[in-house]
Amino acid sequence: MAAVRVSSRSGLPSLLIYLGIGIAIGQDGFGGVVFDNAELTQILGYTALVVILAEGGLGTKWKEIKPALPRAAVLSTFGVAVSVGVTAAGAHYLVGLDWRQALLIGAVVSSTDAAAVFSVLRNVPLPARLTGVLEAESGFNDAPVVILVVAFSTAGPVEHWYTLIGEIALELAIGAAIGLAVGWLGAYGMRHVALPASGLYPIAVMAIAVSAYAAGALAHGSGFLAVYLAALVLGNAKLPHSAATRGFAEGLGWIGQIGMFVLLGLLVTPHTLFDDAVPALIIGLILTIVARPMSVFLGLLPFKVPWREKALLSWAGLRGAVPIVLATIPMVGGVPGSDRAFNIVFILVVVYTLIQGPTLPWLARKLRLGDDEEAADLGIESAPLERLRGHLLSTTVSPKSRMHGVEISELRLPPGAAVTLVVRDGTSFVPSPTTVLRRGDDLLVVATDPVRDAVENRLQAVSHHGKLAGWLAPGGPAGRRAIKKAGLRPGDRAGGRGGERSGERPGEHPGGRAGERAGGRSRGRAGEGSGERPGGRSAARPDGEAGGRPDGAAGGRPDGAPGGRPPHTPAR
């Protein structure tokens, strides 16, 4: 707990804190624990990486990384190749390493760690286009880097480079196919199987994601890519208890990171690091100042990316646990000089994380890339009501949400959904249609099974765009499917009058205003309807106002329908 608080307040990635703990209890520290089992470290490190990738996929929003996929794909393939080549050349010609060691180190340190980036950017919100690139790149580039490190560790320099490229492409394709298939099948099963306890849902989701890694590895594909994509599909499938699942995965991710970093700290022998300090600093300088910027600027040439964003992406290439774990692969394989390579990677990661971590928020502010005004997504927790064929949705109006100041009636929820409870400042109450939502309000929404997705889309749309949000969220296949499920017309908008949506009578729609005002008056326009009173007599006045109302609206009926219109006739 103390280490987490120090990491949060200092702006340093948690990597350094837990590595320090491992070194302190190791053979050169006060603990005196002797640990030199590189094979066990690799196995446990792989296990932790699988959990960390699963947690990252579950917490990644598809709509944020979807626009960034082409850029992230280029950076995680072409960018990795450029980074490996430039770093290896510098290590060979400036440090004097042979080509095998140089290529190994270049491949090991070419993988970025988004967890390290976001741990220092927690107080500097970035635009979604940047966070999407960083998240997707870190999730995708682990797979090709692992393949490169294994190839260089077993066969040394590759004579036929096109063969290696073909093997990498094949393993990535197999891993991607298995990950997407396992994720889709898992999401389908989770939607159609009611587990006996809510606490089993997070365990089941994590088990499905981890099984994707096993399936990918057995099929000789990239297990790391498989687990990330499977978790990405599961995390965006709107499964029951999704918020609890993300919290559970985050806790497992923290356990994996802490255990892995402490173990790596135990494995290193501090008194042997001094001889490799200068080579590590030189290689790190080449990687940070030359290789990473080259990979970013060259890789993003086909895209219209401003230079400020390229500069931040170049500096945001923080290295974390992945390079140190990958450095154990040549040690287990008995590659000559692997101990020295491990020391170089360890020093490089620690020193340049100390340099880049604290300066990254400062650079983001200097480049004016903060996005404090961006509306945040709502965190919506869903609990299924199996016997009632419905769902309980709970959410909180966040400080950045544009739902602040919106009335309950202006949410325009589809038929079959209603806000049943609001908790404000510790006090719960049943809202009326005119209740105005405030920041910090907790909402409880009841929705029938067919309109659950439509309700979530609508709440997210209002959170982003306020009361003027389009009906049921932005367009696209997901929006159209949600509209169809809710029984609405694709052209319906949130600004429509009560009773004009999906043919319902005025006053029957839970989010509309019709029939909700005093006396059950309709909001019809002047002159609409025949102007007759319920008894059949004309309600015309000498001044021509319909129904005798001073605002010119049609005369009200007890059932909320406009005057002169049969109650069963839907509004047009």
**DSSP letter string, 194-218:** --SSTTHHHHHHHHHHHHHHHHHHH
**Residue appearing with tokens 């004097």:** 96
Tell which residue, 506, 561, 508, 504, has the closest CA to residue 530.
561
* E strand or H helix that includes residue 445: strand 442-448
**Residue appearing with tokens 């196995």:** 43
Q: Let me know: does 53 contact 139? Beta carbons within 8 Å.
A: yes
Q: How far is CA 446 from each of CA 131, 319, 418, 449, 510, rounded to the nearest angstrom?
A: 33, 45, 6, 10, 11
| Amino acid identity for residue 559 in this structure | D
Tell which residue, 493, 513, 514, 517, has the closest CA to residue 562.
514
- Identify the DSSP state of 133: H
Tell which residue, 127, 113, 149, 124, has the closest CA to residue 15.
113
568 CB burial (10 A radius; 0-12, 13-18, 19+)? exposed
What is the chain's pLDDT, residue by residue, as a tens digit (572 residues)? 565 565 555 556 666 788 888 889 988 888 788 888 888 998 998 999 899 899 888 988 888 788 889 999 999 999 999 999 999 999 999 999 998 899 999 999 998 876 676 666 565 667 778 888 888 888 888 888 998 898 888 755 555 677 788 888 899 999 999 999 999 999 999 888 878 888 899 999 999 999 999 999 999 999 999 999 999 999 998 888 887 888 899 899 889 888 888 988 898 888 888 889 999 999 999 999 999 999 999 999 999 889 999 999 999 888 877 898 899 999 988 888 888 999 999 999 989 888 887 888 888 888 888 655 444 555 666 666 656 677 788 888 988 888 888 989 888 898 888 998 899 998 989 999 899 999 999 998 988 878 888 888 888 888 888 877 764 444 444 455 544 544 544 444 433 333 333 334 333 443 444 334 433 443 444 334 333 444 444 333 434 344 444 444 444 444 444 444 444 444 43
Q: What does the alpha-carbon distance between residue 141 and residue 118 come to, in Å, rounded to a whole number?
A: 17
Q: What does the alpha-carbon distance between residue 342 and residue 407 come to, in Å, rounded to a whole number?
A: 60
**Side-chain half-sphere exposure of 407, counting CA atoms within 13 A:** 12
Q: What is the largest CA-CA distance in the chain?
A: 103
Taking the domain 381-516, which CATH number applies?
A: 3.30.70.1450
Query: Does pTM surpass 0.75?
Result: no
Cβ neighbours of 191 (radius 10 Å): 13
Q: Which residues pair with 391 in a beta bridge?
A: 384, 447
Domain ranges of the chain: 38-119+127-366, 381-516, 517-572
Tell which residue, 323, 313, 380, has the closest CA to residue 351.
323
Q: How would you classify the pairing of strands 381-385 and 417-424?
A: unpaired
Taking the domain 38-119+127-366, which CATH number applies?
A: 1.20.1530.20
Q: What does the alpha-carbon distance between residue 286 and residue 90 come to, in Å, rounded to a whole number?
A: 7
* E strand or H helix that includes residue 78: helix 69-90
Q: What does the alpha-carbon distance between residue 208 and residue 251 come to, in Å, rounded to a whole number?
A: 17
Buried b / exposed e over 410-441, threshold 16 CB at 10 Å, is: bbbbbbbbbbeebebeeeeeebebebebeeeb
Tokens representing residue 366 in the block: 């200097």
Q: What does the alpha-carbon distance between residue 459 and residue 465 come to, in Å, rounded to a whole number?
A: 10
Tell which residue, 269, 286, 268, 267, has the closest CA to residue 278.
286
Q: What does the alpha-carbon distance between residue 310 and residue 544 come to, in Å, rounded to a whole number?
A: 66
Q: What does the alpha-carbon distance between residue 452 and residue 434 come to, in Å, rounded to a whole number?
A: 23
Q: How far is CA 409 from each of CA 325, 430, 484, rounded to the nearest angstrom?
A: 54, 13, 21
Q: What does the alpha-carbon distance between residue 179 and residue 237 come to, in Å, rounded to a whole number?
A: 14
Tokens representing residue 111 in the block: 């993988």
**Residue appearing with tokens 């409870």:** 421
Q: What does the alpha-carbon distance between residue 398 and residue 419 come to, in Å, rounded to a whole number?
A: 17
Q: Which residues pair with 418 in a beta bridge?
A: 446
101 CB burial (10 A radius; 0-12, 13-18, 19+)? buried
Residue 24 backbone phi and psi in degrees, to 5: -65, -35
Q: Report H helices in 268-317.
A: 277-285, 292-299, 307-315
Q: So what's the pLDDT on residue 105?
A: 94
Q: What does the alpha-carbon distance between residue 87 and residue 283 come to, in Å, rounded to a whole number?
A: 7
Q: What does the alpha-carbon distance between residue 339 and residue 36 come to, in Å, rounded to a whole number?
A: 11
Same fold, 38-119+127-366 and 381-516: no
